[in-house]
């Protein structure tokens, strides 16, 4: 397939039509999306390093008067999120191989698992706040760093659930084809990113 | 009958993490020779997902998470 350069500011007037335009701009959109993910990595890295710095300057961790976090429940919740990463990956694979039914099942499973993770996080927050009296503003560095980082991650998961639901609806309405599915690739990249960030946060807050 | 929920949670976490590790490893193996930027990123992500499965398994069987501030 011959690659024709697109004149600046005149992309839609391209002779090859929308398909040719898609092929030519796909790499650019992919690079742009990867740059977005890198910027998100920087955002999380900033907060994580701030957390590690504050943690290492304190007197023991968690500070006196704050009970230790529930590793068992967090492990189950982590499994839910990691499992959703697997289902998302196979959703994209099934789309590539034209198995629409399996794709839809995997997408729905991913969305449901994402919602379950958010529910688990809500349960954990409620338990911490009501039972252990750990709050964002009233528990010093521990509460502030825990709720800020896990809350920021939870926000990303919530956005991801909305994003994947939108992708599923778009695919049901025929927006994507076997050859044109960049949105699904981007959604899978985003969801994997959310998973990987949780690997780091889970290790830092619950295991170390 | 008394149910020890911690043991239930740890069992679910351990079994789930094995499944996640196996699925991620198989997906990584299948994608190993695929070209393209996004597939390279997918490989890294799947590798980290498999590592996450190992970490959660170790937490599930109570090997990790017993130190410092963890319960």
Q: Does B16 touch chain A (CB under 8 A)?
A: yes
- Which residues in chain B have their CB less than 8 angstroms from residue A68's CB? 69-71
A86:B59 CB<8 A = no
A89:B27 CB<8 A = yes
Residue A208: its pLDDT value, please?
81
* pLDDT in 10s for each residue of chain B, 71 residues: 677 888 898 999 999 999 999 999 999 999 898 888 888 999 999 999 999 999 999 988 888 876 544 44
Round to whole Å and give the CA distance between B53 and B16: 8
Residue B48: its pLDDT value, please?
93
Q: Does B6 touch chain A (CB under 8 A)?
A: yes
Residue A140: its pLDDT value, please?
80
Which string of DSSP letters, residue by residue, matches A105-145? HHHHHHHHHHHHHHHHHHHHHHIIIIIS---TTTSHHHHHH
Q: CB contacts < 8 Å between A and B, how many?
A: 124
Which string of DSSP letters, residue by residue, matches A17-86? HHHHHHHHHHHHHHHHHHHHHHHHHHHHHHHHHHHHHHHHHSSSSSPTT-PPB-HHHHHHHHHHHHHHHH
Cα A121–Cα A56–Cα A206 angle in degrees, nearest 5:
25
Cα A195–Cα A199–Cα A200 angle in degrees, nearest 5:
120
Low pLDDT (below 50) residues in chain A: 1-2, 4-13
Asked if residue A120 has a cis previous peptide bond (ω within 30° of 0), the answer is no
Burial of residue A205, with CB atoms counted within 10 A of its CB: 0-12 exposed, 13-18 middle, 19 or more buried: buried
Measured CA to CA in angstroms, residue A112 lies from A126, B6, B22 at distances of 21, 24, 21
DSSP B70: B
Q: Are B20 and A195 in contact (CB under 8 A)?
A: no
B70:A90 CB<8 A = no
């Amino acid at each position: 397939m011959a690659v024709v350069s697109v004149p600046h500011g005149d992309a839609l007037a391209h002779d090859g039509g929308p398909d040719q335009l898609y092929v030519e701009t796909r790499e650019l959109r992919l690079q742009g999306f990867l740059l977005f993910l890198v910027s998100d990595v920087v955002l999380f890295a900033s907060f994580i390093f701030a957390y590690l710095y504050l943690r290492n300057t304190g007197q023991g961790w968690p500070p006196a008067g704050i009970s230790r976090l529930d590793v068992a429940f967090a492990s189950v919740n982590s499994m839910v999120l990691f499992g959703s990463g697997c289902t998302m990956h196979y959703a994209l694979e099934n789309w590539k191989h034209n198995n629409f039914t399996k794709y839809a099942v995997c997408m729905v499973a991913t969305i449901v698992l994402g919602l379950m993770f958010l529910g688990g996080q809500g349960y954990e927050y409620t338990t911490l706040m009501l039972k252990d009296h750990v709050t964002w503003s009233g528990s010093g560095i521990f509460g502030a760093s825990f709720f800020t980082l896990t809350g920021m991650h939870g926000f990303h998961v919530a956005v991801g659930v909305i994003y994947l639901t939108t992708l599923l609806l778009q695919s049901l309405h025929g927006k994507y084809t076997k050859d044109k599915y960049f949105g699904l690739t981007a959604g899978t990249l985003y969801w994997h990113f959310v998973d990987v960030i949780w690997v780091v946060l889970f290790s830092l807050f619950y295991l170390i | 009958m008394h149910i020890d929920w911690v043991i239930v949670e740890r069992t679910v976490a351990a079994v789930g993490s094995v499944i996640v590790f196996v699925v991620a490893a198989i997906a990584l193996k299948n994608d190993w020779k695929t070209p393209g930027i996004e597939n390279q990123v997918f490989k890294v992500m799947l590798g980290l997902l498999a590592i996450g499965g190992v970490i959660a398994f170790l937490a599930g069987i109570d090997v990790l998470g017993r130190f410092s501030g963890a319960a």
